Amino acid sequence: MQKKVFSRPEGLLDVTTHYCAGCTHGTAHRLVAEALDHFGVRERAVGVAPAGCSVMMYKYFNCDTIEAAHGRALAVGTGIKRARPDLFVFTYQGDGDLASIGLCETMHAANRGESISVIYVNNAVYGMTGGQMAPTTLLCQRTTTTPAGRTVANEGFPLKMAELMANLEGVTYCERAAMYDVKQVRRARKAIFHAFEIQIQHNGFGFVELLSACPTNLKMPPAKAQKWVADEMVKTFPLGVFKDLPPGPSPAPSSAPAALAEEGTAHAV
């Protein structure tokens, strides 16, 4: 008698992704899909995609998805969740999307304590546009727009989102994890599961930053890129739980707008 011990989560479609060899988006996608399965929310989930490499995540996730303008994922997510509080809403965003062009939307959604789970993939570089500087590019790191390396004098410091989020009162849970080895992947999985739980059980804002490898734009073989995350990125972006409030009263509004169909004056055509 054979027993199946490993299979594709229902939350993922059976397709090949467009991600580069050694890219950790695939790992992160799988962890999110496992969480969708675990909590049984796939059929009421809406994933908000960013502009960036994961803009095509609609091809990979077996749940409803919507594409947001660059940086606006948490505004779109807010609109969906406020309109339909019964839905499970997650955003999946890169560092450029969440921490640069969308920093305002990110901080305000967090500060309002929107009942949304945020998966924030930080790989210290712009992937889809071809390796330009990210808000999280390390000091001295060379990119196509910092050819001599990022300097404090010209570009300032790498932005530490997990630390920043932890200071906002609306945030229930905030952790930085990585995916460079099996142990870290397991921790990342646990973090994503907890962020989902925070939304499902407590209507809270959960934020998971995932240190990720972009071998193509780091111009490194996959294994070396993983090692770079472990050895270099972690120095600037320490791993750990930055905030995990005990369950309390929901900071998010619970009232749903009355469905239009329930209006006495409504007439379908």
Partner 1 sequence: MADRGPKKLVKGNVALAEGAVQAGLRCYFGYPITPQNEVPEYLSGRLPQVGGIFLQAESELASINMVLGAVAAGVRAMTSSSSPGISLMQEGISFLAGDQLPAVIVNVMRCGPGLGGIKTTQGDYYQATRGGGHGDYRTIVLAPTTVQEMFDFAVLAFELADKYRNPVLILADAVIGQMAEGAYLVPDRPIVTVDKPYIVTGAQGRPPQNIRSMYLEGDDQEELNYVLQDKYRLIERDEVRYKTTQIDDAETVLVAFGTAARIALSAVREARKMGMKVGLFRPVTLWPFPTPQLRELSQRVNKFFDFELNLGQMVDDVRAAVVPGTRVEFYGRPAGGLPTPADVIQKLKEL
User: Do 190 and 266 meet the contact criterion of CB atoms below 8 Å apart?
Assistant: no
* C-beta closer to partner 1: residue 2 or 255: 255
* C-beta closer to partner 1: residue 5 or 266: 266
* C-beta closer to partner 1: residue 223 or 256: 256
- Residue closest to 113 by CA, chosen among 248, 259, 257: 248
- Does position 223 interact with partner 1 (CB under 8 A)? The reply is no
Alpha-carbon gap, residue 262 to 110, rounded angstroms? 32
**Tally of CA atoms within 13 A in the half-sphere of 28 that contains its CB:** 29
User: Do 181 and 231 meet the contact criterion of CB atoms below 8 Å apart?
Assistant: no
The one-letter amino acid at 163:
E
What is the nearest approach in angstroms of partner 1 to the Cβ of residue 198? 19
Find the binding residues for partner 1 in span 81-140 (CB under 8 A).
81-84, 87-88, 104-105, 108
User: Do 127 and 52 meet the contact criterion of CB atoms below 8 Å apart?
Assistant: yes
- String of b and e for 203-222 (b: at least 16 CB within 10 Å)? bbbbbbbbbbbbbbbbebeb
What is the nearest approach in angstroms of partner 1 to the Cβ of residue 258? 4
Pick the binder of partner 1 from 43, 169, 181, 231 (CB under 8 A).
Answer: 43
What is the nearest approach in angstroms of partner 1 to the Cβ of residue 98? 14
| Residue count (the chain) | 269
- Does position 15 interact with partner 1 (CB under 8 A)? The reply is no
Alpha-carbon gap, residue 250 to 115, rounded angstroms? 9
- Does position 64 interact with partner 1 (CB under 8 A)? The reply is yes
* Piece of 23-31, 76-84, 198-206, 208-216 that binds partner 1 (CB under 8 A): 76-84
Alpha-carbon gap, residue 174 to 206, rounded angstroms? 6
* Piece of 160-168, 170-178, 230-238, 257-265 that binds partner 1 (CB under 8 A): 257-265
Binding site for partner 1 (CB under 8 A): 13, 42-46, 48-49, 55-56, 58, 61-69, 72, 75-84, 87-88, 104-105, 108, 253, 255-258, 260-261, 263, 265-269
